Amino acid sequence: MNNKKEKFARFGISTKGFVYCLIGALTLAAAFGMGGKKADSDGVLSTLGDQPFGQILLGITALGLLGFVFWRFYQAIVDPEDIGSDFKGIITRIGYSLSAVFYGLLAFTALKMIFNGGNQGSGGGRESAISTLLSKPYGQVLVGILGAIFLGKALYQFYRAYSGKFKKKVEAAELDNKVERWVLNTGYVGYTARGIVVGVISYLTFHAAFTADSDSAGGTKEAFSFLQNEFGTIVLAIIAAGLFAYGFFMFVKARYRSIGI
């Protein structure tokens, strides 16, 4: 990978970290009544669009997200880490591709907001998609499958946190011992928080499947509300702080991880 492509990929990973830091910071502020709001990725884009020079901020963010899309597709197609083409490798590379699609859609949303003057337009994307699925034959089964996919993603976050899988890459960066320990802790906390949020999204999706009610489904914002309603503000604040830690970990990852062939 040449130098320009590598910088573009690192910029993309940093932008993902920036988005997660804002999700965590906005939600943490909302939890303690200090302004802010329970935010998902779209909410972050709306917040950026409301700032002075909002369209410029959205443009930079969209460019960064496209850098992350490029990196994920590069991982999936070129396989620079030699993941392989066995069953586990294929599943991992499909996961990279799906991640690229998700962040590509987020980049498209940012670009659309630029041309709409910072307004996203009508929302409810996840609920609308689930409502569409429920209207189809075997719709509840399809939504149940979607819930299972989210569950698999949540379990994978916990696996990343506690299997030591990401630890090897951090150790390979040869950081100072204190810095390395701090970075590893942000990784543990970040992946755990992300796993909890995606796990709640899975639960809400399963509930929508069982009740045939798309209003029961939800994304990150609804997961935050569920956590606050069921477990209290302190738990919500801890999870939000964990997502901020995940964002910081992405910054470190962008700086130090290997991105060559």
**210 is a domain residue:** yes
- Name the domain count of the chain: 1
Q: Which residue has the tokens 């639960």?
A: 203
Structure confidence at residue 109 as a pLDDT band (50, 70, 90): very high
Structure tokens at 148: 């299972």
**261 is a domain residue:** no
End-to-end CA distance of the chain: 6
**62 is a domain residue:** yes
pLDDT (0 to 100) of residue 260: 64
Range of the domain at 106: 3-256
**59 is a domain residue:** yes
pLDDT tens digits for 172-203?
667 788 888 888 889 999 999 999 999 999 99
pLDDT tens digits for 221-251?
899 999 999 999 999 999 999 999 999 999 9
Measured in residues, the chain has a length of: 261
**240 is a domain residue:** yes
How far is 57 from 191, CA to CA, in rounded Å? 27
pLDDT tens digits for 118-169?
555 444 556 667 888 888 888 889 999 999 999 999 999 999 888 877 777 7
Structure confidence at residue 19 as a pLDDT band (50, 70, 90): very high
Residue 117 phi, psi (nearest 5): 75, 25
Contacts of 71 (CB under 8 A, 6+ apart): 8, 9, 12, 13, 259
pLDDT tens digits for 38-64?
888 888 999 999 888 889 999 999 999
Contacts of 150 (CB under 8 A, 6+ apart): 198, 199, 201, 202, 205
Contacts made by residues 134-138, CB under 8 angstroms, sequence distance 24+: 134/208, 134/212, 134/214
**194 is a domain residue:** yes
